[in-house]
Structure 1
Amino acid sequence: MNTLLSIKTRNNVLRTMASLLDREKEAIISINKKDLEAYKGDDISMFDRLKVDEAKVHEMIAACLHLATQEDPVGLERFSFRHDNGMQVYNKTASFGTILIIYESRPDVTVEAAGIAFKSGNKILLKGGKESLQSNLKIVDLWHQALNQHYASKDWIAYLQFDRTETQAFLERPSQKVDLIIPRGGERLIAFVKKHATCPVIISGRGNNFVFVHKEADTAIAIEIILNGKSKISACNAVDKVLIDKNLPNKTAFINRLLSKLKEFKIDILGDTIISKFDKVEEISSNDVWYKEFLDYKIVIGEIPSNKDAIAMINNYSGGHSSAIITKNTAEAKLFMANVDTAAVYHNASTRFTDGGQLGLGGELAISTDKLHQRGPIGLQHLVTNKWYVHGNGQIR
């Protein structure tokens, strides 16, 4: 077991990591190009997540520097109580211990997830995908340099270079104690981890996010938010489904305008029996399509009778990630936001903001669609559990 490092050491490691990322920026991008060239799959969203450019490295650097300025999440008092017998009781935050994150593509996760786990006093085991192996190994080497520079064990951040069989064996019979597992990727990865894991798992689940255009919507805002929702198709906070209130004034003109804009961005449009009557809209073959997260240039649009119907449909089909209502009616927005069962709900704003950095956390380990232990972006302050500290002078019960 690694003894908790002082907050000064943890912050110094993070600052040194930021400097190393800056110094090795060109090398990281060059190594990443080799990973990109070696990728032979046809998953455009995975390819997008795999890519590291100068802007992405700057985001990694910013994440480390921001973490170094954050308050220590370990040892914060959450509750105190003085017992009748004189004992002083405290409940304080405590590190989990060892966290395993299994993720696909995304070398930036190797910085952000490791940084958040390390800052919160946890050892982290990183299991990235084979498609990003060289990029990940380079970044982990920089972590080890940063740890070494401040006399901290490189065991704090370890990379598991396992294939699928070895990963399954580790999940079923870990060779070291693991306190928490977070799978971050597609539904197949999540199902694989849930099936084989022998310790608690937090699901970073699918997106399949909905926008409901209410009958009192500002339609210009609606179009901007829907388009923004398709601006990064590889993101789990992207929009896949749009519901349009059947009582929306000038509905036909709005739909034509929306379809025209989506086609400009080469988005394939599917529709229900009503929307598919519009030009170049393919009718959905089955209601099962409403369940699917696309991670692609694809969107489904349907008509819905009311806000309550929209709520019911979203709760039935969505991935529990994010949903938005576009309306000028505050009461209708409150009804929607209180009753839609997703981790994040929006009124007249884009689902693309479901992100730790955008929601004030400074970064995220993952975005949880579970309701325990944390829902939505998992930030620094969520990677802790708690512990009871009881001080006495001989009390017995």
Structure 2
Amino acid sequence: MKTILSVTKRNSVLSKMAALLEQERANLKAVNQQDLNNYSGDDLAMEKRLLVDDAKIDGMILSLQQLTIQEDPVGKVRFDFTHENGLKIYNKTAAFGTIMIIYESRPDVTVEAGGIAFKSGNKILLKGGKESLLSNLKIVELWQQALKDNEVAADWVEYLNYNREETQAFLEQPTQKVDLIVPRGGEKLIAFVKKHATCPVIVSGRGNNFVYVNAEADLDQALAIIINGKTSNISVCNALDKVLIDTNLENWEAFTKKLITELQQRNVIVLGDISISKIANVPEIESDLIWYEEFLDYKIVIGIANSNQEAIDKINKYCGGHSASIITKNDFIAQEFMDNVDTAAVYQNASTRFTDGGQFGLGGELAISTDKLHQRGPIGLQHLVTNKWYIYGDGQIR
């Protein structure tokens, strides 16, 4: 493990990186255009994530500026105890050491996730997808310039320009110490990393989020929340894929038809379970397996629930462990739903699109974890630490 950099030094590198992104804005967009021109796939969500425009660069710069002013997460005392024999015992937050981030198509991850990992005292290994190679190499060049300008060794941020076979070989037998791996991307990427990695992996990126419209819902709110969750950005893991409608809702059929019309007007493909298909003339799902799917597309599945418990059970069976929202004016029912649905984030009367480190006040995120260890949901700067015990004695023996 490298000697940890002082927080002053880490902040100086982050500030310099923000300045370099502003300075190289035009060049970065031009390089990214080459990646976009080279991308021949037909994955709309991936193409959207691949784009680096002024808004994305503004977001990168802002994330670095916010990180610079955030408190150092390393060395915080979490627990202290004085033993009866006089030993002074402390548990403090500590850096992991080296964090590897493997991701697809999002050059902004090279800045935002890399920045969080660096600020929390870690060496960074970045492995982006081939579709964003030129953009990533340009950004890493800026990282290394920021390090050099602050007299910090360039290998604090490294880019691993590996193909799939080389990546697999590295995961199975790393040529340098790796303490934690964070895969950011689709389910195939996550499965690949989990299968081959020899160190801890934080699973993140899978959505398949649900909204449940309860019998006591405000229907205007329900409509707005579902439209926002599905259509505001299809390419993100907090987008909405499934809707359950309580059959105890007054005029639930009329509401469902109105919802489907609104979605179809926004070019969303709507599929229904057998009940929804009958009343609304939309294609019926071919198999219940579709309830497990994350779409990352203008596509949604709507089904019914005959009770709150049925909705909870269905969400817990099929969801990706990310986010679920109940639309209801009944706070007791909402609390029961939120306590019993097994997702990292649970909502009452709000869009799942808010599951995001920046929106949650974390100042950005490394990932959104659907694991329960060591941190669940958005992983911000303050969560990207392990811990260490410090014991101060004066010759005590046991």
Per the shorter chain, which TM-score range?
Answer: over 0.9
For 2:264, give the aligned amino acid: K
Q: Verify: 1:389 aligned to 2:365, yes or no.
A: no
Aligned to 2:104: 104
Aligned to 1:60: 60
Q: Deviations over 1:71-118 (max 9, x none)?
A: 000000001111111111111000000011110010000001110011
Equivalents in 1 of 2:217, 2:320: separation in Å?
Answer: 24
For 2:194, give the aligned amino acid: K
TM norm structure 1:
0.99
Residues 168-187 of structure 1: pairs in structure 2 closer than 5 A: 168-187=168-187
Equivalents in 2 of 1:282, 1:36: separation in Å?
Answer: 34
Aligned-residue Cα RMSD (Å) equals: 0.8
Equivalents in 1 of 2:218, 2:26: separation in Å?
Answer: 45
Aligned to 1:30: 30
Contact 1:15 1:65 in 2 (8 A): yes
Q: Name the SS for the 2:261 alignment partner.
A: helix
Q: Verify: 1:119 aligned to 2:119, yes or no.
A: yes
For 1:114, give the aligned amino acid: G
Deviates most, 61-70 or 377-386:
377-386
Q: Verify: 1:335 aligned to 2:333, yes or no.
A: no
Q: Deviations over 1:118-143 (max 9, x none)?
A: 10000110000000000000001111
**Cα deviation, residue 342, structure 1:** 0.3
For 1:258, give the aligned amino acid: L
Contact 2:229 2:353 in 1 (8 A): yes
Aligned to 2:285: 284
Aligned to 2:359: 358
Equivalents in 2 of 1:159, 1:382: separation in Å?
Answer: 24
**Cα deviation, residue 278, structure 1:** 4.0
Q: Deviations over 1:351-374 (max 9, x none)?
A: 000000001111011110000011
**Cα deviation, residue 383, structure 1:** 1.0
**Cα deviation, residue 350, structure 1:** 0.5
For 1:378, give the aligned amino acid: I
Aligned to 2:150: 150
Equivalents in 1 of 2:56, 2:222: separation in Å?
Answer: 29
Equivalents in 2 of 1:300, 1:250: separation in Å?
Answer: 20
Aligned to 1:348: 349
Equivalents in 2 of 1:73, 1:302: separation in Å?
Answer: 44
Q: Name the SS for the 1:390 alignment partner.
A: strand
Contact 1:205 1:319 in 2 (8 A): no
Q: Name the SS for the 2:91 alignment partner.
A: strand
**Cα deviation, residue 205, structure 1:** 4.2
**Cα deviation, residue 338, structure 1:** 0.1
Percentage identity across aligned positions?
Answer: 66
Equivalents in 2 of 1:284, 1:241: separation in Å?
Answer: 12
User: Alpha carbons of 1:366 and 1:346: their partners in 2 closer, same or farther (altered >3 Å)?
Assistant: same
For 2:164, give the aligned amino acid: R
**Cα deviation, residue 48, structure 1:** 0.8
**Cα deviation, residue 277, structure 1:** 2.1
Equivalents in 1 of 2:252, 2:377: separation in Å?
Answer: 33
Q: Verify: 1:260 aligned to 2:266, yes or no.
A: no
Gaps of 5+ in 2: none
Q: Deviations over 1:165-209 (max 9, x none)?
A: 000000000000100111111111111111111111110141000
**Cα deviation, residue 376, structure 1:** 0.4
Equivalents in 2 of 1:273, 1:34: separation in Å?
Answer: 46
Contact 2:256 2:280 in 1 (8 A): no
Contact 1:337 1:345 in 2 (8 A): yes
Contact 2:253 2:279 in 1 (8 A): no
Equivalents in 2 of 1:219, 1:371: separation in Å?
Answer: 33
For 2:172, give the aligned amino acid: E
**Cα deviation, residue 279, structure 1:** 4.5
**Cα deviation, residue 217, structure 1:** 0.2
Contact 2:211 2:240 in 1 (8 A): yes
Deviates most, 42-51 or 273-282:
273-282
Q: Deviations over 1:26-50 (max 9, x none)?
A: 1111111110110011111111110
Contact 1:107 1:136 in 2 (8 A): yes
Gaps of 5+ in 1: none
For 2:9, give the aligned amino acid: T
Equivalents in 2 of 1:393, 1:11: separation in Å?
Answer: 37
**Cα deviation, residue 256, structure 1:** 1.8
Contact 2:235 2:296 in 1 (8 A): yes
- How many residues align? The count is 397
Contact 1:324 1:351 in 2 (8 A): yes
Q: Deviations over 1:250-280 (max 9, x none)?
A: 2122112111110111000000111112455
Q: Name the SS for the 1:275 alignment partner.
A: helix
Equivalents in 2 of 1:368, 1:34: separation in Å?
Answer: 32
Residues 270-349 of structure 1: pairs in structure 2 closer than 5 A: 270-349=271-350
Deviates most, 252-261 or 359-368:
252-261
For 1:207, give the aligned amino acid: G
Contact 1:104 1:129 in 2 (8 A): yes
Equivalents in 1 of 2:41, 2:161: separation in Å?
Answer: 20
Equivalents in 2 of 1:302, 1:177: separation in Å?
Answer: 48
Contact 1:209 1:241 in 2 (8 A): yes
